[in-house]
A and B are shown apart, each in its own frame.
Chain A
């Protein structure tokens, strides 16, 4: 039972962070919806674990906890992939900035 309380507190904390980030325009609406679906989904399973068993049977897995485990791994892989893309984009931006700065500094130096 204590674990449930911890999970609920964590979910509320994480969801509030997502909303705050959205309000600060640091998170897109698409990302907010994605995170809300994740947290609400976990909340539903915490309050009604039977749902995970039903889902497990539908997917052909014996236990609900196994389903949760598999889905978590897939979700984590997806998140790592998203993070990689984001980092790659930032990396590209830094390269573009470096190129532009290098050209500008050199041109300015020549024009003096």
Chain B
């Protein structure tokens, strides 16, 4: 990690009604040495924007809620146009990701020449994944394997690091949670060099409450991806 300070590294956090957790997440990132933090407030109706600003993050606002994929697209496009970053780390706003895992994501890009690294909770030794979540994720993995033909152990982990090539080439077209499949598709189509890295997910009551809704999203997501594949 000795060379990371020589690079422009941004942490991009899409956030929707995360007023309760965003302040702590930004604080932890800063404590870990990451000061370039961009929060894309995705039409929140709570105080997410104010809390993120008070924590010292740069904040972009969507005037209406468009979903995590759209927020990431806004953030990546904005950073690409204005800051020319070397690496963008995508990080969840609900406190599920551990800042201590960031160096593991950066290392393959900085030292081994990978274009993108993807966090995987299934590679982590400390994995405490709730059974229902595990089942849904495994179905997602199988589904992505069939559609994108890329073998990954965790396809819907929002913890990633994008190197320069990935930042410039990856186009996110789905606005919702389906963006995770978009990124995997783009890795395959643009022939990006990728690596999965073990990362731990913290399943708190707060994140699990949000995650319950996500299980329903997974079904909708599958239908949307199939229809998009049929029509494009």
Query: Once the chains bind, are A106 and B70 in contact (CB under 8 Å)?
Result: no
Query: Once the chains bind, are B66 and A103 in contact (CB under 8 Å)?
Result: no
Q: List 17 A-B contacts (CB under 8 A).
A: A88-B227, A88-B228, A91-B175, A95-B175, A98-B62, A98-B64, A98-B66, A98-B74, A102-B60, A102-B61, A102-B62, A102-B74, A103-B60, A103-B74, A103-B77, A106-B78, A107-B82
**If the complex has contacts A95-B175, A98-B70, are A103 and B78 also in contact, measured as CB distance less than 8 A?**
yes
Query: Once the chains bind, are B77 and A99 in contact (CB under 8 Å)?
Result: yes
A-B residue pair count with CB separations less than 8 angstroms: 45
A85 within 8 A of partner (CB): yes
Closest residue of chain A to B73 (Cβ to Cβ) is A99
Which of B63, B82, B175, B227 touches A102 (beta carbons < 8 Å)? B63
Query: Once the chains bind, are B60 and A85 in contact (CB under 8 Å)?
Result: no
Q: How far is the CA of A106 from the CA of B77 in the complex (A)?
A: 13
Q: How large is the interface on B (under 10, 10 to 19, 20 to 34, 35 or more residues)?
A: 20 to 34
Interface size on A, residues (CB 8 A): 15
Q: How far is the CA of A105 from the CA of B231 in the complex (A)?
A: 33
Query: Once the chains bind, are B61 and A105 in contact (CB under 8 Å)?
Result: yes
B112 within 8 A of partner (CB): no
Within 8 A of B (CB), among A54-102: 84-85, 88, 91-92, 94-95, 98-99, 101-102
Residues in A lying within 8 Å of B, measured CB to CB: 84-85, 88, 91-92, 94-95, 98-99, 101-103, 105-107
Closest residue of chain A to B61 (Cβ to Cβ) is A102
Q: How far is the CA of A107 from the CA of B58 in the complex (A)?
A: 12
Q: How far is the CA of A92 from the CA of B172 in the complex (A)?
A: 11
**If the complex has contacts A84-B227, A107-B82, are A101 and B63 also in contact, measured as CB distance less than 8 A?**
yes
Within 8 A of A (CB), among B174-219: 175
B125 within 8 A of partner (CB): no
Among A91, A94, A98, A101, which residue has the most Cβ atoms of chain B within 10 A? A98
Which of A88, A92, A99, A107 touches B74 (beta carbons < 8 Å)? A99
**If the complex has contacts A84-B227, A85-B231, A91-B175, are A98 and B63 also in contact, measured as CB distance less than 8 A?**
yes
**What residues of B have a CB within 8 angstroms of the CB of A106 in the complex?**
60-61, 78
Among A84, A105, A106, A107, which residue has the most Cβ atoms of chain B within 10 A? A106
**What residues of A have a CB within 8 angstroms of the CB of B73 in the complex?**
95, 99
